[in-house]
Amino acid sequence: MNLRDILLKVKNNETDLNAAESLIRGMGYVPVSDIAKIDVCRSQRTGIMEAILAEGKEPEDVIKIAKAQVDACGRVLVTRLNEINVKMIEKNFEPEQLEWGKHKRTVVVHNGTPVTRTGGVVAIISAGTADITVAEEARIVASEMGCKTIDIYDVGVAGFHRLVGEMLKLQAYKPDSIVVAAGREGTLPTVVSGLIDVPVIGVPVSTGYGAGAKGEAALLSMLQSCSVLAVVNIDAGFVAGAFAARIANNVAMARSGKTGETVYENNGL
């Protein structure tokens, strides 16, 4: 079914506006040369924006896709950057168009279009400094989905007193969901989930060495947790941030009394 067919159905009273809008959103994508078809209506359809995974792509293609996405939607998230990607992005976009995550592994490219804030609040916690890159990916995703974010980094269980000192701060912000990134044995999400009445998403990180290296021990530890938490794949910061934001945005919707309506809008669509 093409756009004209949908419009004719509305004109002939064969479908209502809500059904037509749903069909139109499902059609929306923008082709980029012969390399990509960017899903410009993903945020309206699912609440999760389109993003560019730089890993595995030619740097020139990343730039082409980013420019097309910014033209279509005003903003785009680019993840898993390497040094070549960073240099190419800095060369092709103005500094004021770029919002970098820590260590420049993640960036938001925009044309000045702001994010529509939903009222959702997501806390991002990392066990160690080596886990910050993955935590930052989760934080930026949640922020781009309209949430306020609070980051608390380097509070792993090797120095448990560091987490205790941050718990009052965490509770004061009243987060709707929490992402906890941890490598090594991956204990921190279990501990956090046992201390606070908020949904926790654990992200095993591929730090550590020896038996159970590359995040495998952390993944199994989180899956075996005796406190209740959700667990995503190893290094899956994007998925964790998006899932946490979905929870937070639904909570914000309930707080606002807008049950059944959407509080998330992707600007420019």
pLDDT tens figures, 211-236: 889 999 999 999 999 999 999 999 99
Quote the CA–CA distance of 161 and 148 in Å, as a whole number: 26
User: β-pairing, 177-182 with 148-152?
Assistant: unpaired
pLDDT confidence of residue 142: 97
Sign (positive/negative) of CA torsion 82, 85, 90, 94?
negative
Q: Which residue has the higher pLDDT, 24 or 94?
A: 94
Q: How confident is the model at residue 268 (pLDDT cuts 50, 70, 90)?
A: very low
Instruction: Say whether pLDDT at 140 is over 50.
Output: yes
> 67 pLDDT exceeds 50?
yes
Q: CATH top-level class for 121-256?
A: alpha beta
φ/ψ of 197, rounded to 5, equals: -90, 55
- What are the two backbone dihedrals, phi and then psi, of residue 235, each rounded to the nearest 5 degrees? 65, 15
Report which of 133, 188, 198, 204 is spatially closest to residue 156, judged by C-alpha positions: 188
165: confidence class by pLDDT, cuts 50, 70, 90:
confident
Q: What Cα–Cα distance (Å) separates residue 14 from each residue in 20, 27, 79, 252? A: 10, 19, 43, 35
Distances (CA, A) of 97 to 71, 74, 131, 144: 13, 10, 26, 14
Q: How far apart are CA 120 and CA 248, in angstroms?
A: 5
Q: So what's the pLDDT on residue 96? A: 95
Residue 246 CB neighbours (<10 A) = 19
The boundaries of every CATH 3.40.50.1970 domain in the chain are: 121-256
At 259, the amino acid letter reads: T
Q: How many CB atoms lie within 10 A of CB 148?
A: 18
Amino acid identity at 70? V
